[in-house]
Amino acid sequence: MMKRKRHTACGKKKMPVASCIILLVIVLGCVFADVICKKDPSYLDLMNYTKAPNAEFWFGTDTLGRDIFSCIWHGGRVSLLIGVASTALSTVIAIVYGAISGIAGEKVDTLLMRFTEIILSIPNLLLIIFLQAIMGKATIGSISIVIGLTSWFGIAKIIRTEVRQLRSSEYVIAAKCMGGSFWHILWKHLAPNFVSSIMFMVVMNVRSAIVAESTLSFLGIGLPLDVISWGSMLSLAEKALMSRAWWIVLIPGIFLVVVLMCITSLGHWLQVRVSHHNTFHLRWEKNDRNLAMNKEQNVTMWNGCARWSDISKRIAICAFCIRTDAKIAVLFLSHSKYCKNA
């Protein structure tokens, strides 16, 4: 009984309102950073470098004399932009690649999936560093493209599985017979049916992209210091720890961790919601199948009853005929006996 209640509570998990509110506040703060911040984040105030948080500098200053409060909001704009842009690129690639693999024949599907599995066996960070070294100087666009090109493989496998289940549906076959193109069938018939299954991974890809950008900047191969992001701010961690300026590392780290936790909480809620939605539809389909089977059984029983009624009618007719013949025979015998006596 306890297990059933626990399953029900998990299936009806509430939306993480607190995480959504915190994430919305941070996003709005990054969007309207020019209104919130009074100081220029790129200004190097060498007279006030490595200042602890005070009335003038709310979050203190870094080793270059920049106001950390202004850098937080302007840098968050860059980090979130990289996360959203790279996720959009990876999602589009995954949808097209997964749909082609799902619709194609066995040989093409096997070839595409083997390529995906080979790439997935390579560490993602190693791929990002390799592609970034090929592209040269790191910019917001180059990092977004590199992260997007290395984070679509898992989503593509899920889409491929969903498409292989949907391609034999009646509406997909009807669209093909009516001359619908691959893109028409993909966006009008296939995508609306598998988009709920990939929402969790899409949201988590935003988190992974922000972490990847921060990791690259921390390793010194990401964005330069003049391009402010949460990752480039954390790249000053070594100098900050040597000068015991804890606020240079702690405050950007807190913002980064809070955003990642909010995105993770939202992603898990979407995962539970999608799984509950799929379970409901599976139960609905099972009930439909049971109703269809019951209807078929009822029709069979009705036909059987009809056949038995026909047989009973024939038996009754035969019995009536036999009874009539018996009466005629009795009358004939009695008439012949009367004739003999006469």
Burial 138-149 (b: 16+ CB within 10 A, else e): bebebbbbbbbe
Closest by Cα among 114, 115, 149 to 131: 149
Q: Which two tokens stand for residue 229?
A: 């992001």
Q: Which two tokens stand for residue 117?
A: 């599995």
pTM above 0.75, yes or no: no
| Rounded distance between C-alpha atoms, residue 210 and residue 216, angstroms | 10
Supply the pLDDT for residue 146: 92
Residue 88 pLDDT > 90, yes or no? yes
Q: How would residue 222 be classed by pLDDT, with cut points 50, 70 and 90?
A: confident
Supply the pLDDT for residue 332: 47
Supply the pLDDT for residue 285: 45
Which percentage of the chain shows pLDDT scores above 70? 76
Supply the pLDDT for residue 323: 54
Lowest mean pLDDT: which of 31-45, 162-176, 268-282, 297-311?
297-311
Supply the pLDDT for residue 220: 77
For the 18-276 domain, the top CATH level (class) is: mainly alpha
Q: How many CA atoms are closer than 13 Å to the CA of 153, on its beta-carbon side?
A: 18
Per the DSSP assignment, residues forming a β-bridge with 67 are 61
Q: How would residue 324 be classed by pLDDT, with cut points 50, 70 and 90?
A: low
Count the neighbouring beta carbons within 10 Å of the beta carbon of residue 187: 12
Q: What's the pLDDT tens digit per position in 144-167?
A: 999 999 989 989 998 998 888 888
Q: How would residue 91 be classed by pLDDT, with cut points 50, 70 and 90?
A: very high
The structural domains of the chain, with segments of one domain joined by +, span 18-276
Top pLDDT among 342 and 215 is at: 215
Q: Helix crossing, 106-120 with 68-103: angle to 10°?
A: 150
